[in-house]
Amino acid sequence: MKRLSRREFLSKTTKTALGLGIASQLGFQIGCHNGTTGPSEAAWRQLANSLQGMLLRPGDALYDQIALPRNLAFAGILPRGIVFVAGPADVQTSVRFAREHGLPAVARSGNHSYAGYSLTTGLLIDLSNMSSIDIDTSGGIVDVAAGALLGAVADATAPFNLLMPSGRCSSVGIAGLLLGGGFGFNGRKFGLTSDNLVQTQIVTANGELLNCNETENSDLFWACRGGGGGNFGINVAFQVQTHPVSTASVYELVWDVEDAHAAWAAMQEIGLTTSNDFSMRLGMIIQEDGPLPGSRNQSLQVIGQLFGGSAEELREILDPAFVAAEPSSSLIEELSFADATLFLEEFDSPDAFLSKSAYLIGPLPEEAIAIMLEHFFLWPADSREAEFKIFSWGGAYNQTSPEATAFVHRSADYIIESDASWHTEDPVSVSDASKEWIQELFVKLQPFFTGSAYQNFIDPTLTDWQSAYYGANFPRLMDVKNTYDPDDFFNFAQSIPT
């Protein structure tokens, strides 16, 4: 399945579905979803008739495809209804309906929650049709509806030579990314996506639409800048500061596994000593599709950019890595910023996986590099793929104080992400072995980490997530929760509690 298949599918089929009368619901027993009967069929029809958008129910033609999550490990969590909202009024209507009928409600934007927290057995409020993007070129503010994807935002800002600091994966939704922070290849220069938030509109648990900025509902605005999605309400739009761009030089280097240790050590030193214009993603990867039957493809890869710099300048910065170990392949090229964004773009497809994260102060020590590389030789034979990667941090990320916004991670040099994936058709023994592999890796490396974790790489196995994600800001986040959602209507396994 291609990375945009669900969104492309929706854009092509929504009008057709409406023409076929999908909004008029089929009779369907939903007791299997939660062991309760839920709203009556008459209530569901009333909801459908009150929406500008579309309501989809189990049994409808498009339901099975659209209900799928990005992480297929959670594909068994199915909603009683999916509302494709057309605007804030539909969100308000949906929230009030869910409350009235005792249904949990969850918002979905890009559908990338690693732990399946944009899923529900109740009412799924899909924001994908709320995808407008408007740009005020005089002030450089982009007004983004909550269902817009990062790739669409980049496409909209590029003709004006502007960028919104954001992530690398174009199929991620703006809402989930921004509300949990949002980092990417331009963040060391311009900060998190949430650092650039000027204003947002949010539907709260009582169905009220609020405007939030530094002076209006400022406590909720603070929480929306890194406090995580799905905690305080459903954000329907964001106004974000953009920045002017011109060119960037990009690079991609690959080393064979025997040179991985030397190259890793060299690259992370480069990342610590260069300007905020430099960024990198350095990762060890192992895949099932090796060059010979039954073999593995294992290599060290690094990709990144030098913002506004030439290819010659970038080659000079990277020279210590070439000296440490000659790459098996290399590319360094100066591009327009729009082309650089496309070069750095990550394409993903739905699969089943577990992801973990950590923060690192200073370089990963030689001992830890060796432990990590040795652990890759223990990768389960039947599993699909695994990665261990670090992204450059510091710079503008750390120039905002930890208490200024809800995003507390302001002292690290690197952020770490590791993931293990398997095929959905694999037996439980394979998925369990994959999960055990990544858990053991993090146990071995934990002494080298800070103890923090990134809330957007949400990890359902974390037991101390309150501290790991939010640190000293957690009590204040609870205060905001008690103010705007005292009944804990918006909740999931790792949501901010009341």
SS3 for 194? Answer: helix
CATH topology of domain 5-126: 3.30.43
How far is the C-alpha of 125 from the C-alpha of 119, rounded, in Å? 10
User: What would the DSSP string read from start to end of 432-491?
Assistant: HHHHHHHHHHHHHHGGGS-S---TTS--TT-SSHHHHHHGGGHHHHHHHHHHH-TT--S-
Q: Say which range, 27-36, 109-118, 278-287, has the weakest mean pLDDT.
A: 27-36
Quick one: how far is CA 428 from the chain centroid? 26
In the chain, residues under CATH classification 3.40.462.20 are 247-467
Structure confidence at residue 293 as a pLDDT band (50, 70, 90) = low
Position with higher pLDDT, 22 vs 383: 383
- Report whether 286 contacts 340 (CB < 8 A): no
Handedness of CA 5, 7, 9, 11 (dihedral sign): negative
How far is the C-alpha of 298 from the C-alpha of 389, rounded, in Å? 13
H or E segment and range at residue 179: helix 174-179
Residues recorded for the chain: 498
Task: Give, in order, the Cα–Cα distances in Å from 343 to each of 33, 250, 327.
Answer: 43, 8, 19
> How does pLDDT run across 160-215, given as a tens digit for each residue?
999 999 998 999 999 999 999 999 999 999 999 999 999 999 999 999 999 999 99
Most confident of 29-43, 369-383, 432-446: 432-446
Q: What is the pLDDT of residue 343?
A: 96
With tokens 């790459």, the residue in question is 327
Could you tell me which residues come within 8 angstroms of residue 437 by beta carbon, excluding any fewer than 6 positions away?
375, 378, 379, 380, 383, 386, 420
How far is the C-alpha of 332 from the C-alpha of 161, rounded, in Å? 22
How far is the C-alpha of 7 from the C-alpha of 178, rounded, in Å? 19
Q: What is the pLDDT of residue 291?
A: 56
Q: What's the mean pLDDT in 326-334?
A: 98
Strand duo 278-287 + 385-392: pairing: antiparallel
Has residue 299 got a pLDDT over 90?
yes
- Which CATH number does 247-467 carry? 3.40.462.20
SS3 for 176? Answer: helix
Most confident of 56-70, 109-123, 465-479: 465-479
Percent of the chain with pLDDT over 70: 92
Q: Say which range, 1-5, 146-150, 276-280, has the weakest mean pLDDT.
A: 1-5
H or E segment and range at residue 158: none
> How does pLDDT run across 229-259, given as a tens digit for each residue?
999 999 999 999 999 998 999 999 999 999 9
In the chain, residues under CATH classification 3.30.465.10 are 133-244
Over the chain, what is the mean pLDDT? 91
Quick one: how far is CA 260 from the chain centroid? 28
Task: Give, in order, the Cα–Cα distances in Å from 396 to each of 211, 317, 342, 409, 493.
Answer: 27, 20, 23, 12, 31
Has residue 7 got a pLDDT over 80?
no
Q: What is the pLDDT of residue 107?
A: 97
The closest of 390, 388, 389, 391 to 438, measured between CA atoms, is 388
When computed from its CA atoms, the radius of gyration of the chain, rounded to whole angstroms, is 23
Domain 133-244 has CATH 3.30.465.10: yes
Q: What is the pLDDT of residue 351?
A: 86
> How does pLDDT run across 317-328, given as a tens digit for each residue?
999 999 999 999
Position with higher pLDDT, 297 vs 26: 297
In the chain, residues under CATH classification 3.30.43.10 are 5-126
Has residue 28 got a pLDDT over 80?
no
Q: What is the pLDDT of residue 290?
A: 58
> How does pLDDT run across 46-63, given as a tens digit for each residue?
999 999 999 999 999 889
Quick one: how far is CA 212 from the chain centroid? 22
Has residue 454 got a pLDDT over 50?
yes
Give me the sheet containing 278-287, strands edge to edge.
329-336, 247-256, 297-307, 278-287, 385-392, 414-422, 352-360
Structure confidence at residue 294 as a pLDDT band (50, 70, 90) = low
Q: What's the mean pLDDT in 375-380?
A: 94
